[in-house]
Structure 1
Amino acid sequence: MQKKVWFYVHWFLGLFAGTVLVIVGLSGAVLSYEKEIFEMINKESLVVTVREQERLTPEALLEAFAMAKPNATPSAITLFSDPKASASISVQGQGGGRNTMVYYMNPYTGELLPELKGRQFFRATLDLHRRLMLSEVGKQLVGASTIGLIILCFSGVYLYWGSIRRSLKKSLSINFKAKGRGFLYQLHSASSLWMFPFLVFISLTGLFWSYDWYRASLYTMAGVEMPKKGMHHGQKKMPKQAESLTEVKSIQKPVAVEGVTQAWSFFESTLSKPYAYATLRLPSSKGVYEFTYMDENAPHSQAINMLSVQMKDLKVLSHTRYEDKGVGEQILTSMLPLHSGEFFGWGGRIVIFLASLGMLLFALTGVILYINRRKKLHKKFLKPTP
């Protein structure tokens, strides 16, 4: 009786949450390789020809930008250690928040480079992945379906437990010579069993963005103070090349660039390790320059460090490094890389990518098995009694 109840729970959740899970899975698979796709379609903006001359100083880049865009006020400048990488300058538009424009410049000539392509597509894909493009209603549907996926995983193992107990090896294998319902059943159960730990992991990390109470509980368990809303750890924040570009509508006062190059030189002199990229927020507040940077061999894209410099006394006011944080804070900072598999290297990304694509396989095989079962029961019901 108990097994029958869990069988109906399993197929009910599969039927009603399956569509949402397929959408979330496929969009997640696309987002897994967002950075690589961006780099492939935007080489003319992200990659420049290396020249014999030295790259322009931060002040020179800002001055060149001011000449090209006199009505735009820079809010940040980002430079990369890679000599082939372009520089970028961020501009805060009206309304603040996400209304940020990022321009790309050749660090050798100060020339403005073309706008990135595909950014709107990936913004829409992320919105589809987290909210189904339905705002708060979609967010709740995704959250509920994610919880449903966890139940589907454990209920599936429970229903398949008899086969697992008899032979785990056979339960994990698929006989491709089998036909019909037998093949579909093996494909559905065996592939689900292979992906079981990864699907549960994706679900548990994905709930971080679905429910405030869940996120707050993780911070409480880790003993870490929860950042203000809109600035929580794990918020997707790619290097500045991956931002979008729009137009500034308002005329703003220019930012004084004097001292920026000196501040950057002092910043570089304080580092014990080479950096991959660094962003300087503008303008400085009372002579304080704030840098956000990533080490050259950082473990993942969220291993970000922050440094504040008081230029009057050439003094470091604060220096927060990812590697110096406690384990709990590192984990919470790394929620996005954990969710995408980036935290575990290229192998982890491939596994999470396949698990995300697997949502479609599980849904299709599950629906076909359900239809076949209904047809079988219908024929049995219509069969005349002797």
Structure 2
Amino acid sequence: MSDVRRPIKAALLQVHSLAGLALALLWAVVGITGATMAFEDEIEASLNSHIMRVDASATRRLTPDELVARLQSAGDFGRASAVTMASDPSAAVRIRFARSEGGARPSSVYVDPYDGHVLGSPRAEDFFATVRKLHRWLLLPGDGNGIGRKITGTAAICLIVMLISGLVLRWPHRARSVKMWLKPNLGLRGRGLHRSLHAVIGTWVLPVYLVMTLTGLWYSFEWYKAGANWLLARPVTTTAAMQPKQPRGAAADGKADARANPGNDKRASDPNGEAKALTFDRVWTAFLAQEGDQYGRALLTMPAGAGTAVRVRSWLPDSSLESVRDEFRIEAVTGRVISADRYADKTFGERILAGVLDIHRGAILGWPGKLAFMLAAAMMPLFTVTGLLLYLSRRRHRRLARQPVGHLVPGE
């Protein structure tokens, strides 16, 4: 190694080691939780197949408001905040609820679309919700508006530094040898085996980790999201995408504002001046006028705070990706379509932005991609263990190699 490269590699090793020691446990938690959520949809569908399907009937299916009314008459479930309708006559309807005064969100329920009776709450919903909060915000207070979001984002940036420094540190003398890059030496023992596993498996997962971190930053920093929109989206789309989201506390603020001004907080005033809660049916009718029977599944979501614009996301019957959807904003009071964002009209860059989540978890490549990303995420603890062992081994090696210094005595 040349005299110039030696101090550079030594400095990189220090950075790589210290950053790894400081953040290894955090990366392991994020990796394990990400792997746990890889096949969340498939797991929930398997666990809840008995309540997600009903016997198809020639009877008219109930409208969203009729379903909500029958649900509320059956028990105190809280205020309905979202309804998922399907064109499939044998698919149950899923209803989600707004957060309570204490900030907790009740479990959603599946209901029969023909008579509105409750089929049950989905299993594993609360489990995956907790895992998701741990993955994104480390279960710290504030959720998406708290410090946890910034910590995981900073850890993602540090992981990029780790990947680049690790690649430089392991660059072999025979860089063109595929065997040197991709085949671990399992015949080694001790430090040699740890180093081989750490370096070679790290090379295997490096592209996946880069994709995960670069897309994961989308959920951590608004400046990163704004930059991505500026780079990939058309100017009009960028302006719309950069509108600030309603804070989670806005719902509570909206309730306080409603007490001062009953015309706000997702309510509309009738001609007599009385406030009425927003309902789904006008939105549902307007959506059907737009889409007809071309949709496969539609999610109607009430606004989180003050306002009357309901968001409707629509997926085609054969859509397998979360990102391949149309999105509408519909005025709940009048049924007027405020905006229609169709996937078919998006540019290539805008489709990348819409598919950040599918790219982040490998779903863009189908189930093989999800499996590959899941395995890569699950391997994160391996680097925590091997990295720590290598650090301790280097410390021990340096201590043994250090020559003892004797004290000079006059006359000797």
TM bracket, shorter-chain basis: 0.7 to 0.9
Report the secondary structure of 1:161's partner residue.
Answer: coil
- Judging changes above 3 Å, is the alpha-carbon distance between structure 1 residues 142 and 75 closer, same or farther for their aligned structure 2 residues? closer
Tell me how far apart the structure 1 counterparts of residues 283 and 138 of structure 2 sit (CA, whole Å). 44
Letter in 1 for 2:206: F
- Judging changes above 3 Å, is the alpha-carbon distance between structure 1 residues 199 and 70 closer, same or farther for their aligned structure 2 residues? closer
RMSD over equivalenced CA pairs, Å: 3.8
CA contact (8 A) 2:310 2:329 kept: yes
Q: Within 5 Å, give how 1:118-137 maps onto structure 2.
A: 118-135=124-141, 136-137=146-147
Q: Within 5 Å, give how 1:198-217 maps onto structure 2.
A: 198-217=208-227
Report the secondary structure of 1:194's partner residue.
Answer: helix
Deviates more, 1:196-205 or 1:131-140: 131-140
CA shift for structure 1 position 2? 1.0
Tell me how far apart the structure 2 counterparts of residues 148 and 171 of structure 1 sit (CA, whole Å). 23
Match of 2:297 in 1: 277
CA contact (8 A) 1:74 1:255 kept: no
Tell me how far apart the structure 1 counterparts of residues 335 and 148 of structure 2 sit (CA, whole Å). 50
Letter in 2 for 1:50: D
Match of 1:371 in 2: 392
Deviates more, 1:82-91 or 1:322-331: 82-91
Tell me how far apart the structure 2 counterparts of residues 256 and 201 of structure 1 sit (CA, whole Å). 41
Match of 1:181 in 2: 191
Q: Does 1:343 align with 2:364?
A: yes
Report the secondary structure of 2:165's partner residue.
Answer: helix
CA shift for structure 1 position 121? 2.3
Letter in 2 for 1:28: G
Letter in 1 for 2:120: P
Tell me how far apart the structure 1 counterparts of residues 32 and 134 of structure 2 sit (CA, whole Å). 10
Listed one character per residue, the Cα deviations across residues 188-235 of structure 1 (whole Å, up to 9, x for unaligned) are: 111111111111111111111222222221122224223433379xxx
Tell me how far apart the structure 2 counterparts of residues 323 and 164 of structure 1 sit (CA, whole Å). 47
Match of 1:56 in 2: 61
Q: Within 5 Å, give how 1:213-362 maps onto structure 2.
A: 213-222=223-232, 223=235, 224-225=238-239, 226-230=241-245, 260=281, 267-268=287-288, 270-271=290-291, 274-280=294-300, 291-298=312-319, 300-307=321-328, 318-362=339-383
Tell me how far apart the structure 1 counterparts of residues 61 and 216 of structure 2 sit (CA, whole Å). 42
CA shift for structure 1 position 9? 1.2
- Judging changes above 3 Å, is the alpha-carbon distance between structure 1 residues 29 and 301 closer, same or farther for their aligned structure 2 residues? same
Listed one character per residue, the Cα deviations across residues 344-363 of structure 1 (whole Å, up to 9, x for unaligned) are: 21122112111211211111
CA shift for structure 1 position 173? 0.5
CA contact (8 A) 2:19 2:162 kept: yes
Report the secondary structure of 2:315's partner residue.
Answer: strand
TM-score (norm 1): 0.79
- Judging changes above 3 Å, is the alpha-carbon distance between structure 1 residues 72 and 17 closer, same or farther for their aligned structure 2 residues? closer
CA shift for structure 1 position 119? 2.7
Tell me how far apart the structure 2 counterparts of residues 213 and 80 of structure 1 sit (CA, whole Å). 36
Aligned residues: 362
Listed one character per residue, the Cα deviations across residues 102-135 of structure 1 (whole Å, up to 9, x for unaligned) are: 4320124321122233333222222211222234
- Judging changes above 3 Å, is the alpha-carbon distance between structure 1 residues 138 and 92 closer, same or farther for their aligned structure 2 residues? closer
Tell me how far apart the structure 2 counterparts of residues 292 and 22 of structure 1 sit (CA, whole Å). 34
CA shift for structure 1 position 163? 4.0
Match of 2:159 in 1: 149
Tell me how far apart the structure 2 counterparts of residues 271 and 165 of structure 1 sit (CA, whole Å). 55
CA shift for structure 1 position 185? 1.6
Which consecutive residues of structure 1, in runs of 5 or more, have no partner in the other structure? 233-251
CA shift for structure 1 position 302? 2.7
Tell me how far apart the structure 2 counterparts of residues 288 and 373 of structure 1 sit (CA, whole Å). 60
Tell me how far apart the structure 2 counterparts of residues 308 and 322 of structure 1 sit (CA, whole Å). 14
TM-score (norm 2): 0.75
CA shift for structure 1 position 289? 8.3
Q: Does 1:15 align with 2:21?
A: yes
Letter in 1 for 2:243: K
Tell me how far apart the structure 2 counterparts of residues 164 and 98 of structure 1 sit (CA, whole Å). 57
CA shift for structure 1 position 147? 1.2
- Judging changes above 3 Å, is the alpha-carbon distance between structure 1 residues 273 and 87 closer, same or farther for their aligned structure 2 residues? closer
CA contact (8 A) 1:163 1:171 kept: no
Tell me how far apart the structure 2 counterparts of residues 294 and 209 of structure 1 sit (CA, whole Å). 23
Report the secondary structure of 2:379's partner residue.
Answer: helix
Q: Which has the larger radius of gyration?
A: 2
Tell me how far apart the structure 2 counterparts of residues 89 and 366 of structure 1 sit (CA, whole Å). 46
Report the secondary structure of 1:275's partner residue.
Answer: coil
CA contact (8 A) 2:286 2:337 kept: no
Match of 1:167 in 2: 177
Tell me how far apart the structure 2 counterparts of residues 103 and 271 of structure 1 sit (CA, whole Å). 26
Tell me how far apart the structure 2 counterparts of residues 97 and 218 of structure 1 sit (CA, whole Å). 32
Which consecutive residues of structure 2, in runs of 5 or more, have no partner in the other structure? 1-6, 248-266, 268-274, 407-412
Letter in 2 for 1:294: W
- Judging changes above 3 Å, is the alpha-carbon distance between structure 1 residues 149 and 326 closer, same or farther for their aligned structure 2 residues? same
More relative contact order, 1 or 2 (CA 8 Å, 6+ apart): 1
CA contact (8 A) 1:255 1:282 kept: no
CA shift for structure 1 position 254? 7.9
